[in-house]
Amino acid sequence: MKFAVIVFPGSNCDVDMYHAIKDALEEEVEYVWHDATNLDEYDGILLPGGFSYGDYLRTGAIARFSNVMTEVVKAAEAGKPILGVCNGFQILLEAGLLPGAMRRNEKLKFMCRTIKLRVENNISMFTSEYETGDIISIPIAHGEGNYYCDEETLASLQTNQQIAFTYFGDNPNGSLADIAGITNEKGNVLGMMPHPERAVEELLGSADGIKLFQSIVKQWRLSAYGVTS
Which residues are catalytic, by number? 86, 195, 197
Rounded distance between C-alpha atoms, residue 170 and residue 174, angstroms: 9
With b meaning 16 or more CB within 10 Å and e meaning fewer, what string describes 89-101? bbbbbbbebbbbb
Q: Please give the Cα distance from 175 to 178 (Å, whole number).
A: 5
> Beta strand pairing status for 135-142 and 101-103?
unpaired
Structural contact between residues 208 and 220, judged by C-beta atoms closer than 8 angstroms = no
How far is the C-alpha of 180 from the C-alpha of 189, rounded, in Å? Answer: 14
Alpha helices in the chain (DSSP H): 14-19, 67-77, 87-94, 151-159, 210-224
